[in-house]
Homo-oligomer: A and B are copies of this chain.
Amino acid sequence: MRIGLAGLGNVGAGVVRLLHANRDLLKARGVSLTVVAASARNRDKERSCDVSDIEWEDDPRALASRRDVEAVVELIGGAEGAALDVAAETLKHGKHLVTANKDLIAAHGVEMARIAEESGVQLSFEAAVCGGIPVLKTLREGLAGNRIDEIRGILNGTCNFILTRMGSDGADFATALAEAQEHGFAEADPSADIDGRDSANKLAILSAIAFGIVPDVSAISVQGIRKVTLNDIRSAAQRGGAIKLIGHARRVDRSIMQRVKPIFIPFDQMLAGVGGVINAVEISGDFMGDLMLQGAGAGGDATASAVVADLIDIARGLRCPSFGRPAASLVSLTPAQRANVG
């Protein structure tokens, strides 16, 4: 399968390196994936991957209409602008779309899924939630027989790194944040992470698949970690637990409670032991019981693993509705349902 790659940052470079390093292995698994064309803001930047065999497009939108491209990987980021254009154009041209863009999917995922269904192509976004953890496939396919009742997780590695540092090393918030930025875990503008918006986007996508609702960040009560003090964390430890930023969605009466909030987790619960940039998600359902997944929630290589898994599924001919059911059947929470919970 021939691929167009829009975006060559950490994840894009990881995809190119993975496809090169594991070419023979993928062939043994019955799959051949080749990046034929790519686009990025700066063509001449130093990269950790070899792009000499890949044709260049100055405008990423051009990837969507290339005759030699069967699937486009969108790694531009942002809910609007070039990312949205590339996604919509790709699907309208009858090509598959794989994206790691949680903002785009939380804001326009249903619309994109509808275009994909109309065009008979696949829209996949495993990499948008929890990097290398295949949690969307697990929910959409592996647990598809269950009524899902609850999802609870550490969905943002940056916040978890900061809270872990504050807990184990007694660093204050500003110091821990600066350290996260030094390590490259946090952006220069870290507000999407530490104000909880990144977690909220991921939770909205998880909820959509789990409960069959339209992703809607505005229905999520969101509180970040900016106001968590060293005192809060020490006091939690004295009470036998840790403060973790938890994304939580749960059936309540006839609605879905959705919340992102720093909360107290007793040390005897698994989530309390999840440290550093690791992500973890707990899922409860009526027949499966409780399942927990834990792994690398971010980083170029782990996220590339998720992007490539989506591409392999597509190359193998696996087709599944993006949100686990037809896009038109996802329901929006009513204002009353939204007011009723939180």
* Chain A interface helix/strand/loop/mixed: mixed
Q: Which residues of chain A in 73-117 are interfacial with respect to chain B, using CB atoms and an 8 Å cutoff?
A: none
B147 A142 Cβ-Cβ under 8 A: no
Instruction: Answer whether A29 and B309 are a contact pair too, CB < 8 Å, given A287-B132, A296-B288, A302-B287.
Output: no
Contacts of A178 in B (CB 8 A): none
Contacts of A126 in B (CB 8 A): 142
A133 B304 Cβ-Cβ under 8 A: no
A132 to chain B, nearest CB (A): 4
The chain B residue with its CB closest to the CB of A323 is B29
Contacting chain B: which of A2-10, A20-28, A188-196? A20-28
Contacts of A329 in B (CB 8 A): 28
A30 B325 Cβ-Cβ under 8 A: yes
Q: Is A321 an interface residue (CB 8 A)?
A: yes
Contacts of A21 in B (CB 8 A): 147, 286-287
B305 A295 Cβ-Cβ under 8 A: no
Pull 17 A–B residue pairs with CB atoms less than 8 Å apart, ordered by A: A18-B145, A26-B144, A29-B144, A31-B144, A132-B287, A137-B138, A137-B141, A137-B142, A141-B313, A142-B306, A145-B312, A270-B273, A287-B305, A289-B296, A289-B299, A290-B295, A291-B295
